[in-house]
Amino acid sequence: MFSPTSQDNDIQEHYNRRGLGGAILAALTAAGKDINHLKLEDLAPIDEFHIRGREATHELASQVKLNSSHKVLDVGSGVGGASRYLASEYGCQVTGIDLADENCQAAQSLADRLGLASHVTYRQCSALDMPFENNTFDVIWTQHATMNIADKPKLYSEIARVLRPNGYFAMYDVLAGPVNPLYYPVPWARDSSISFLITPESLREHLETTGLQILSWRDTSEVGRVWFKEVAVKMQQQSEKPALGFHILLGPDFRVMAQNQVRNLEENRIVLIECIAQKSPVH
């Protein structure tokens, strides 16, 4: 049984929204969607809670050659956008894990409504203590989730443990830039107490120490900067919030979070890294 630490509780408090699943369905209805006949694209305004959204997910997925035989673990799955896309697009079996129980419940409800119940499941647990056997998954996936995890050596050790030999680790994450400190609030933290960014150099070291060989490494900060500036401009131009959007997940201060993300990217306080690594066959 999952027993959260005090730090886990703080992170859950940041992300948990009581009745989140119902709020999403109500927002979908207000946006004119038929919640009894949902399509993947209906969820686009909230489905991919990371910079560059579906485009970034597609780019990452195309590098690991997913197919229907693969078992995938989505670490920090949130409301399940990426995991539902992977299951729908490639037919693979996806397990999502997240600290926030409301996220897991909402994610499963939406997967069920999309007819993906046989392909996607969600579990509340910590990425530092995953309830899976060694060598369980063909691919481990994470997007914009590790920023809330302080114990990076334990995290990447757990990822290597549950990943099969020759399996792929696909990540797209926010890392520490050369300039400090960050402007808060940001989407993953309202202050520094639950924000644990590491440098790209430190990430490389952690991956290699745990037997994960880096196959590709790409800094996507510039394209992310352009994308988020466009998002921020659109938000400023809106006279009122749309029915469906990230404000449902993080509340009314998401507008300020988005503005701070642009500043953090522009001033090199954060960088965006896309990485594919492979587990050693003998590790």
Q: What is the pLDDT of residue 44?
A: 87
Q: Is residue 125 part of a domain?
A: yes
Tokens of 226: 């352009």
Q: What is the pLDDT of residue 227?
A: 85
Q: What is the pLDDT of residue 234?
A: 74
Q: What is the pLDDT of residue 60?
A: 95
Q: Is residue 253 part of a domain?
A: no
Integer CA distances (angstroms), 276 to 43, 64, 90, 194, 218, in order: 27, 8, 18, 26, 9
Tokens of 175: 């890392």
CA atoms of 267 and 248, how far apart (whole Å): 28
Q: Is residue 252 part of a domain?
A: no
Q: What is the pLDDT of residue 6?
A: 87
Tokens of 243: 């029915």
Q: Is residue 233 part of a domain?
A: no
Start-to-end Cα distance in the chain: 28
16-51 per-residue burial string, b: 16 or more CB within 10 A, e: under 16 = ebeebbeebbebbeeeebeeeebebebbebbbbbbb
pLDDT tens, residue order, the chain (283 aa): 677 888 889 999 999 888 999 999 999 999 999 999 999 999 988 888 888 988 999 999 999 989 999 999 999 999 999 999 999 999 999 999 999 999 999 999 999 999 999 999 999 999 999 999 999 999 999 999 999 999 999 999 999 999 999 999 999 999 999 999 999 999 999 999 999 999 999 999 999 999 999 999 999 999 988 887 787 677 677 667 788 888 899 888 888 998 898 899 999 999 999 999 999 987 5
Count of domains observed in the chain: 1
Q: Is residue 69 part of a domain?
A: yes
Q: What is the pLDDT of residue 239?
A: 65
Q: How far is CA 230 from the centre of its chain?
A: 21
Q: Strand, coil or helix: what is 33?
A: coil
C-alpha closest to that of 159 among 212, 195, 121, 115: 212
Which residues are CB-neighbours of 168 under 8 A, at least 6 positions away?
64, 138, 139, 140, 215, 276, 277, 278, 279
Domain range enclosing 164: 6-176+189-222+270-278
CATH number for 27: 3.40.50.150
Q: What is the pTM of this model?
A: 0.94
Q: Is residue 86 part of a domain?
A: yes
Q: Is residue 184 part of a domain?
A: no
* Cβ atoms 235, 255 nearer than 8 A: yes
Q: What is the pLDDT of residue 233?
A: 75
Q: Is residue 167 part of a domain?
A: yes
